[in-house]
Amino acid sequence: ASTVQRTQLVQVFAAPSLRLLPADTLLCAGTTLRLRAMPQPAGTTYRWQDGSADSVLTVQQPGRYALEIRTPAGCTARDSVLIAARNCASDIPNIIIPASSSRNRTLVLGPLAPADWAITIYNRWGREIYRREHYDNSWAATGQAAGIYYYVVQNLATSYRIKGWVEVVK
């Protein structure tokens, strides 16, 4: 009895990992947002739901955006992100009453996820009095006089800025 033995080399590739950045997020009305895929191996191809083939997609409208990638080894991965629209500036309150027992004791960024935003607050003479990245809705005008203060909040992922004012009542 004769036997035949054959050896074949099989190469197994790891499945690609895909994550869109930023994750599900808010698109402030009148702005654009750049969606990008996390870094992939050279030669990876990209296909967004609109047919575009770049690793970055610029969006101006809310909706669900999907991306499929294919590595040079032929492995694929898919991900999608939901972009919701909002008029961001109109949802930030313009008054705080630090001594109050009400919900207006601190400056709250409305429906915005505060950790995604940095804030800088200025007094009426334009002097910076407060700055915080990953703002936590905690500014209560401690050590500041009653009056009007100006703020700039900036989205840490998109650099979108909202400027406004808040009155501190003591």
pLDDT tens for 41-90 read: 899 999 999 999 999 999 888 899 999 999 998 888 899 998 888 777 77
Q: 68 and 113 share a domain?
A: no
The CATH number for 34's domain is: 2.60.40.10
Q: 158 and 92 share a domain?
A: yes
Length of the chain, please? Answer: 170
Which residues are 162's β-sheet partners?
153
- What is the radius of gyration, based on Cα positions, of the chain? 24
Q: 61 and 109 share a domain?
A: no
The rounded mean pLDDT for the chain is 87
Instruction: Give how many domains the chain has, as a whole number.
Output: 2
Q: Across residues 154-167, what is the average pLDDT?
A: 87
Rounded CA separation 168/55 (Å): 45
Confirm whether 138 is domain-assigned: yes
Q: 120 and 48 share a domain?
A: no
126 in Cβ contact with 113 (< 8 Å):
no
* Vertex 27 angle, CA 24 and 93, to 5°: 110
Q: 30 and 81 share a domain?
A: yes
Confirm whether 162 is domain-assigned: yes
Q: 108 and 155 share a domain?
A: yes
Q: Mark which of 51, 86, 121 sits at the end of a domain.
A: 86
Q: 75 and 98 share a domain?
A: no
Q: 58 and 97 share a domain?
A: no
pLDDT at res. 141: 96
Q: 100 and 142 share a domain?
A: yes
Burial status of residue 119 (CB atoms within 10 A of its CB: 0-12, 13-18, 19 or more): buried
Q: 98 and 82 share a domain?
A: no
Q: What is the β-pairing status of strands 147-155 and 117-122? A: antiparallel
Confirm whether 6 is domain-assigned: no
pLDDT at res. 43: 93
User: Measured between alpha carbons, how far is residue 77 from residues 57, 103, 165 in Å?
Assistant: 17, 45, 45
Cis bond leading into 22, ω under 30°?
yes
Q: 93 and 81 share a domain?
A: no
- Whether 29 shows a pLDDT value over 90: the answer reads no
Amino acid code (one letter) for 120:
T
Q: Is 66 helix (H, G, I), strand (E, B) or coil?
A: strand
Q: 64 and 44 share a domain?
A: yes
- pLDDT category, 140, cuts 50, 70, 90? very high
pTM of the model: 0.60
Domain that holds residue 118: 88-168
pLDDT tens for 82-129 read: 888 877 777 788 999 999 887 789 999 887 777 788 999 999 999 999
